[in-house]
Amino acid sequence: MVEEAIDRLLADHDPKGDVVEFLGARFDAGLAWVWYPKGLGGLELSRGLQGIVEDRMQEAGAPNPAQHNPLGVGMGSHVLLAHGTEEQQRRWLRPMFSTEEIWCQMFSEPGAGSDMAALACKAVRDGDEWIINGQKAWTTLAHVSKWGMLVVRSDPDVPKHQGMSYFIVDMHGEGVEVRPLRQITGEAEFNEVYFTDASIPHENLIGEVGDGWRVSLTTLMNERVAIGGAVPPRGAGPIGIAVQVWKERGGDDAQRDRLMRLWVDAEAARLTNARARDNRKVGTPGPEGSTAKLAYAEINKEIFEFAVELMGAEGMLYDSYEMTRPDTFREITDPRKGFLRSRGNSIEGGTSEIMKSILGERVLGLPGEPRVDKELPWNEVPRS
């Protein structure tokens, strides 16, 4: 059934033609996410069949929606399926997958990073609207996004995890200001976002009022899978770049051994991710997302450090630090840029330290970190 649907799609629509048109047709064919309901981009089949779709799309040279709209396709879609109403799903899923409407995510704040539940961006209900005031930081692709996933403080009088709500906000709405955050590479794919009396209709609430923590966990688990759970072809990605540098420049025996160890580590992580992908069921991913994200972050840093080391003095040269604002994620091919950009891998989507805490508590069963403010009302918790 899946193979037949793919054959019809490729016969009727040019995979190398208009991106939005092809991806919209793929959604309508039920080949966006085959385990989703019919009419919402799926065929109500086993999630394991999705791999067939992705392989055939790659072979045909079709556009990858997760590259054009990574936060929407990688996270927002699964949040809507798990927590959205049918009306919300029908309203947002198709233009999200077709990349007509780009999405971003707004959780972190200057005073609420690793402890996301400490966030202070405020939402006050006014009839059928919510009025938002506050600031968000590290918002990837906010400057090109139509919609944003936003978690806010809707009740300051209850403990912090209970007083949060989750909304979808129009990034072009009045009172929403996006400012670039320039990175070490010179790019500004990140942004800070300011809300000044911004209005969100109540119908854009995902889940229930006060249910923002639970909904945000779905987002975060899928974010970690999106960051660390991709399964590239064998020898591709950062390790492929390192191997290419070795072929061009060579090295001594110790460096050769180090390259082999990195290749084995990268391949072990790739195969682990493949197994986790195949075993993942419908719903919120488990701690394997944190495992993959942690491994991805640390291995990438090691690989790019090694590649730059092989380049010698040339590894210190970087083409340009001029600020640019990319409209999507670009594949890194320059090891020097990879060296700079990989610094952020251990921060974005949850720091490596947070990933270790999650794995220690949820997988190994170790005692949790002390949480002395967990039961206190948010407005009574001391803040700097």
- Residue 28 has what pLDDT? 98
Please compute the mean of the pLDDT values over residues 376-383 and round it to a whole number.
Answer: 88
Contacts with 78 (C-beta within 8 Å, 6 or more apart), sequence order: 218, 222, 284
Higher-confidence residue: 383 or 284?
A: 383
The backbone region for 241, taken as left when phi is positive above 0, alpha when psi lies in -120 to 50, beta otherwise, is: alpha
**pLDDT of 271 over the 90 cut:** no
Determine the Cα–Cα distance for residues 64 and 97; give it in Å rounded to an integer: 10
Please compute the mean of the pLDDT values over residues 177-191 and round it to a whole number.
Answer: 94
- Residue 373 has what pLDDT? 84
pLDDT grade, residue 167 (50/70/90)?
very high
What is the H or E stretch that residue 54 is in? Answer: helix 50-60
Distance of CA 77 to the CA centre of its chain: 11
Give which of 80, 76, 72 is closest to 100, Cα–Cα.
72
Return the structure tokens found at 219. Answer: 């987002």
Lowest mean pLDDT segment, chosen from 194-198, 242-246, 248-252: 248-252
Q: Which residue has the tokens 């249910």?
A: 211
Q: How many CA atoms lie within 13 A of 329 on its CB side?
A: 18
What is the H or E stretch that residue 83 is in? Answer: helix 77-83
- Residue 279 has what pLDDT? 57
- Residue 287 has what pLDDT? 64
Convert 208-218 to b/e letters by CB count within 10 Å (16 or more is b). ebbbbbbbbeb
Boundaries of every domain in the chain: 2-101, 104-210, 216-362
Amino acid at 328: T
Lowest mean pLDDT segment, chosen from 194-203, 284-293, 373-382: 284-293
**pLDDT of 178 over the 90 cut:** yes
Give which of 34, 36, 181 is closest to 106, Cα–Cα.
181
Cross-strand bridge partners of residue 148: 104, 169
Q: Would you tell me how many other CB atoms lie within 10 Å of the CB of residue 170?
A: 16
Residues above pLDDT 90, as percent of the chain: 70
Higher-confidence residue: 343 or 9?
A: 9
pLDDT grade, residue 141 (50/70/90)?
very high
Please compute the mean of the pLDDT values over residues 32-46 and round it to a whole number.
Answer: 96
Lowest mean pLDDT segment, chosen from 116-125, 154-163, 318-327: 318-327
Contacts with 315 (C-beta within 8 Å, 6 or more apart), sequence order: 307, 308, 309, 335, 336, 339
Distances (CA, A) of 34 to 3, 49, 51: 12, 7, 10
Contact present, 350 and 297 (Cβ < 8 Å):
no
Residues above pLDDT 70, as percent of the chain: 93
Give which of 95, 113, 111 is closest to 103, Cα–Cα.
95
Higher-confidence residue: 92 or 384?
A: 92
Architecture label for domain 2-101: Orthogonal Bundle (1.10)
**375 is an active site residue:** no
Determine the Cα–Cα distance for residues 26 and 29; give it in Å rounded to an integer: 5
Does domain 216-362 fall under CATH 3.40.50.300? My reply is no
Lowest mean pLDDT segment, chosen from 4-18, 36-50, 335-349, 360-374: 360-374
Q: What burial class does residue 29 get, using C-beta atoms within 10 Å of its C-beta: 0-12 exposed, 13-18 middle, 19+ buried?
A: middle
pLDDT grade, residue 19 (50/70/90)?
very high
**pLDDT of 281 over the 50 cut:** no
Please compute the mean of the pLDDT values over residues 349-356 and round it to a whole number.
Answer: 83
Contact present, 159 and 212 (Cβ < 8 Å):
no
Higher-confidence residue: 147 or 221?
A: 147
Q: Would you tell me how many other CB atoms lie within 10 Å of the CB of residue 16?
A: 10
Lowest mean pLDDT segment, chosen from 69-83, 236-250, 273-287, 293-307: 273-287
Contact present, 243 and 9 (Cβ < 8 Å):
no
Q: Which residue has the tokens 């191997």?
A: 243
**pLDDT of 48 over the 70 cut:** yes
Determine the Cα–Cα distance for residues 189 and 326; give it in Å rounded to an integer: 6
Contacts with 98 (C-beta within 8 Å, 6 or more apart), sequence order: 20, 23, 24, 27, 65
Average pLDDT, the chain: 91
Check 223, 267, 314, 353 and give the catalytic one: 223
- Residue 369 has what pLDDT? 80
CATH superfamily of 104-210: Butyryl-CoA Dehydrogenase, subunit A, domain 2 (2.40.110.10)
The DSSP secondary structure of 155-168, one letter per residue, reads -TTSBTTTSEEEEE
Lowest mean pLDDT segment, chosen from 259-268, 270-279, 307-316: 270-279
Return the structure tokens found at 76. Answer: 């927002």
Domain 2-101 and domain 104-210, same fold? Reply is: no
Top-confidence range, 100-104, 291-295, 372-376: 100-104
**pLDDT of 263 over the 80 cut:** yes
Cross-strand bridge partners of residue 191: 180
